[in-house]
């Protein structure tokens, strides 16, 4: 176990290098945290340190609901909301929004639509629908570049529900029609 002064300095700096190497227990609240927990720093006189989460629990402390110190380091729960966004991105890439709605996606993830939108704004900087649209256009562009499929087939294989939507999305992004993109690539 690290000495008190080393642990205390790491806690006050919220040093990620010490994350998982010790746990901070607060006597006044009977809660223990990771050294990187974003909550208000407790007074040093109210703090003690433990080498493991199990040791803190054995001493009678409850895990913090914000930083989830009882989970193993680097597992999905350890990553917090970023894990939800990563899972959503994998589902979107697999076509979840090509055939379903954002409501369906949020239900599969176990979160509300508004919460999912907030998470995407925070971690991705775009909405789930915008991400899906970008992926669809990217798939369509690859199909236009690499195949001789008819435009309508490209639209459906890329995940668009109709050729009209495909043409509109392409025109909006490239300010050109899909067929003119194909001609430019081949020419």
Which candidate in 37, 56, 91, 92 is catalytic? Answer: 37
Say which DSSP state 32 is in.
E
| Alpha carbons 3 and 31: distance in angstroms, whole number | 20
| Alpha carbons 47 and 52: distance in angstroms, whole number | 15
| Alpha carbons 184 and 178: distance in angstroms, whole number | 10
67 among known catalytic residues = yes
64 among known catalytic residues = yes
Which candidate in 26, 33, 97, 135 is catalytic? Answer: 33
7 among known catalytic residues = no
3-state SS class at 33: strand
Say which DSSP state 36 is in.
T
Nearest Cα residue to 87 out of 133, 136, 128, 129: 128
33 among known catalytic residues = yes
Which candidate in 10, 56, 67, 91 is catalytic? Answer: 67
Which candidate in 26, 31, 64, 154 is catalytic? Answer: 64
Say which DSSP state 17 is in.
G
Catalytically active residues are 33, 37, 64, 67
């Amino acid at each position: 176990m690290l000495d008190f002064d080393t642990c205390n300095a790491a806690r006050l700096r919220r040093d990620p290098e010490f994350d998982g190497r010790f746990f901070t227990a607060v006597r006044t609240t009977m809660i223990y945290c990771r050294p990187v927990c974003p909550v208000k720093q407790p007074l040093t006189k109210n703090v003690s340190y433990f080498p493991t989460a199990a040791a803190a629990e054995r001493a009678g402390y409850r895990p913090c609901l914000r930083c989830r110190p009882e989970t193993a380091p680097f597992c999905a729960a350890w990553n917090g909301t970023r894990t939800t966004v990563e899972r959503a991105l994998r589902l979107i890439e697999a076509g979840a929004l090509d055939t379903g709605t954002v409501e369906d996606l949020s239900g599969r993830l176990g979160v509300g639509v508004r919460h999912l939108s907030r998470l995407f704004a925070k971690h991705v900087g775009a909405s789930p629908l915008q991400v899906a649209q970008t992926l669809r256009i990217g798939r369509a562009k690859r199909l236009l570049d690499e195949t001789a499929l008819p435009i309508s087939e490209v639209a459906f294989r890329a995940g668009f529900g109709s050729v009209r939507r495909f043409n509109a999305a392409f025109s909006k992004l490239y300010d050109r029609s899909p067929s003119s993109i194909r001609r430019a690539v081949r020419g």
